[in-house]
Amino acid sequence: MMAALVLIAAWSFNYFADTEFNILAKQSQQKNQALIKVGDECISISERASAHLVPKLEFQRLELQARKANVVVRCMADRNYYQSPAWLKYSEPIAARISSEQHVSVDEALEKLKRTDMLVFEPVSNKPVYWQYVKK
């Protein structure tokens, strides 16, 4: 009788733990899909907003990149996505290392990382996603 109770308890624990894990996994997947959809929309908007600009000189190319990044940031903010504090904490030591290697300021290195990572909307296993949804 005792063995049957132990088996039923173990089965129940395993069943309900798996169910809870599956629910959390589905919620996480839905959040990721929403971020990907919003990110694609914002990139499309930034491309259309700067389609008329054709850079001829190096500073114009940099200005075009800055405009596109600004449009993406504003578009994401309109949809309640902001820079993740986890991403910033992860990126600051990397930016410090890059700045010493390339002899640039930490801010410049962090900005380069930011401009690269802000266009990645799918989660990567070894680093946090740049965007975080913030309810208002």
Domain limits for position 78: 7-133
Whole-Å CA distances, 56 to 16, 25, 93: 62, 48, 35
pLDDT of 4 strictly over 70 = no
**Domain presence at residue 101:** yes
Q: Is the pLDDT of residue 48 over 80?
A: yes
Q: Is the pLDDT of residue 27 over 60?
A: no
pLDDT of residue 105: 94
State the total domains in the chain.
Answer: 1
Q: Quick check: is 87 in a domain?
A: yes
Statement: the pTM of the whole predicted model exceeds 0.75: no
Q: Is residue 2 part of a domain?
A: no
In a domain, 1, yes or no: no
Q: What is the DSSP letter of 127?
A: B
- CA–CA distance, 93 with 21 (Å, rounded to integer): 33
Residue 119 resides in a domain: yes
Instruction: Report if residue 42 sits inside a domain.
Output: yes
Give the chain's end-to-end CA distance (angstroms, integer).
54
What is the pLDDT confidence band of residue 136, given thresholds at 50, 70 and 90?
confident
**Is 66 among the domain residues?**
yes
Average per-residue pLDDT in the chain?
84
Within a domain: residue 80? Answer: yes
